[in-house]
Amino acid sequence: MASVAVDDDLHQKLKVRCSESRLKIKDMVNELIAEWLKNMRIEAIKIEQNNKYIVGNFENNRNSFW
């Protein structure tokens, strides 16, 4: 099992919420981190696609100018 650094206050809130919902902290954190990583990947893909669009438009405009 890996350790994740988190503020004491946030850890306490997570413990309370998980206890109320009868969930294990490990399961909740795994789900949250997996979702976060998925969202970061989606954002990275959007940025990459946007950069390709900008470069492609620059190349097209440069070629048509000359």
pLDDT tens figures, 7-34: 999 999 999 999 999 999 999 989 988 9
Question: Which pTM was predicted?
Answer: 0.59
Q: Which two tokens stand for residue 59?
A: 């190349």
Closest CA to 38 of 30, 27, 49: 30
Bin 16: left if φ > 0, else alpha if -120 < ψ < 50, else beta.
alpha
pLDDT digits (tens, 9 = 90+) for 35-62: 999 988 888 888 787 777 666 665 565 5
